[in-house]
């Protein structure tokens, strides 16, 4: 993954050429193997166990409750084909969280992805992805969704690149004892975004992005428009380690007033994260991270703070 990122972020440089050389050596050593499997196991401390903090309904008995959880993340990928100008792959991932006390909020996620890309020229690459997702909460059905996302990657030289993306997502939410009005949110989302990748040296890269999305739900008071600005910084260190910094501001304006409220809801969501990854070997790494979210809402039920502390060990097999 590090070699692939180097080539994408700094095409045409000596560093990219060296990364390509290592990739060629790896492919010759295992030319017939198209499978990769990643397994991550870790512990998290969550100061505010809520589901779908971006816009989902919260249960009254869980507000501002903290808990530890064990997390398992498994992802398998199969390369359908990969040649000089085009590539395609299919992947399946499983996410499972197991809380220490709040087992009603254990999350199970199944995700299938079909990806492809085609190099139109040295500067233009067309990408596409189709995905389906099924989520359970407390072992009960929560939502099912599918999405289609084409994008265009523009390489401007010297490591600079721009990605333009469109995404359509359709989600069906299911009611349960814990989330009795969840189906009110069933609907679709349209998103358009642009991101700029900027190399800041041989071992540092930055990313700036903006996106606009509209959500249309079964009940009008769940409809919203959103504007998001995000930034990230990656610092690669010589001794097999990486620091990842990111920040995000997301403004969401809801179009109608909910039956129990007097004002239309508006959220200002601030997110900041930092993580440190150390490669222990060619197949194994350890990551420690901290995530902080502040949802500043004019509706009290959706106004909250949340922090998540994580430690994960990841192993790769192929």
pLDDT the model gives residue 203: 84
Range in 101-105, 155-159, 309-313 the model is least confident about: 155-159
The pLDDT of residue 30 is above 70: no
CB 185 within 8 A of CB 171: yes
pLDDT the model gives residue 202: 78
d(CA 114, CA 92): 9
pLDDT the model gives residue 5: 67
Residue 120 belongs to what H/E stretch? none
Whole-number Cα distances in Å, 234 to 163, 183, 277, 315: 18, 39, 11, 21
The pLDDT of residue 118 is above 50: yes
Q: How many residues does the chain have?
A: 318
CB 127 within 8 A of CB 117: yes
Which is more confident, 8 or 102? 102
d(CA 229, CA 291): 17
d(CA 103, CA 67): 10
Range in 11-25, 277-291, 296-310 the model is least confident about: 11-25
DSSP reduced 3-state for 173: strand
Partners of residue 160 on adjacent β-strands: 157
Range in 12-21, 101-110, 245-254 the model is least confident about: 12-21
CB 260 within 8 A of CB 240: no
Could you report the per-residue pLDDT of 254-267, keeping only the tens digit for each? 999 988 888 999 99
End-to-end alpha-carbon separation of the chain, Å? Answer: 13
**Residue reference for tokens 């991550």:** 40
| 200 φ/ψ angles, rounded to the nearest 5 degrees | -115, 30
Directed axis angle between helix 2-9 and helix 14-29, to 10°? 140
The pLDDT of residue 64 is above 50: yes
What share of the chain in percent tops pLDDT 70? 86
Q: From the CB of residue 183, how many other CB atoms can be counted at a distance below 10 Å?
A: 16
The pLDDT of residue 59 is above 90: no
Which is more confident, 301 or 315? 315
33 secondary structure, DSSP code: -
pLDDT the model gives residue 11: 62
d(CA 312, CA 236): 19
What value does the mean pLDDT take over residues 139-168? Answer: 94
The pLDDT of residue 74 is above 50: yes
The pLDDT of residue 252 is above 80: yes
pLDDT the model gives residue 57: 53
Assign 83 a pLDDT band (cuts: 50, 70, 90): confident
d(CA 243, CA 281): 17
Which is more confident, 50 or 56? 50
Could you report the per-residue pLDDT of 192-214, keeping only the tens digit for each? 999 999 988 878 899 999 999 99
CB 76 within 8 A of CB 37: yes
pLDDT the model gives residue 301: 83
Give me the half-sphere count of Cα atoms (radius 13 Å) on the Cβ side of residue 9: 23
| 5 φ/ψ angles, rounded to the nearest 5 degrees | -65, -40
- Rounded-to-10 torsion of CA 175, 181, 183, 189: -130
């Amino acid at each position: 993954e590090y070699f692939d990122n180097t080539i994408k972020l700094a095409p045409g440089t000596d560093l990219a050429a060296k990364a390509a050389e290592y990739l060629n050596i790896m492919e010759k050593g295992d030319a017939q193997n198209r499978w990769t499997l990643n397994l991550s196991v870790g512990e998290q401390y969550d100061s505010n166990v809520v589901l779908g903090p971006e816009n989902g309904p919260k249960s009254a008995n869980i507000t501002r409750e903290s808990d530890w959880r064990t997390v398992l993340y498994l992802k398998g990928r199969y390369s359908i084909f990969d040649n000089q100008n085009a590539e395609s792959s299919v992947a399946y991932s499983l996410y499972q969280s197991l809380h220490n006390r709040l087992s009603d909020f254990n999350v199970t996620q199944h995700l299938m992805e079909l990806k492809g890309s085609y190099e139109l020229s040295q500067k233009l690459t067309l990408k596409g992805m189709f995905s389906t997702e099924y989520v359970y909460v407390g072992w009960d059905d929560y939502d099912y969704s599918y999405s289609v996302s084409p994008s265009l990657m523009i390489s401007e030289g010297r490591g600079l690149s721009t990605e333009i993306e469109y995404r359509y997502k359709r989600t069906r939410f299911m009611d349960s004892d814990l989330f009795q009005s969840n189906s009110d949110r069933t609907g679709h989302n349209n998103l358009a975004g642009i991101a700029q990748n900027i190399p800041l040296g041989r071992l540092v890269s930055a990313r700036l992005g903006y996106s606009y999305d509209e959500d249309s739900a079964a009940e009008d008071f769940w409809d919203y428009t959103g504007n998001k600005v995000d930034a990230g910084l990656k610092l690669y260190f010589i001794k097999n380690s990486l620091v990842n910094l990111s920040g995000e501001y997301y403004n969401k304006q809801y179009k109608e007033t909910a039956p129990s409220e007097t004002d239309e809801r508006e959220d200002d969501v601030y997110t900041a994260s930092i993580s440190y990854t150390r490669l222990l070997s060619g197949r194994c790494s350890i990551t420690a991270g901290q995530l902080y979210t502040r949802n500043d809402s004019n509706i009290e039920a959706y106004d909250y703070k949340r922090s998540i502390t994580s430690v994960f060990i990841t192993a790769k097999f192929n």
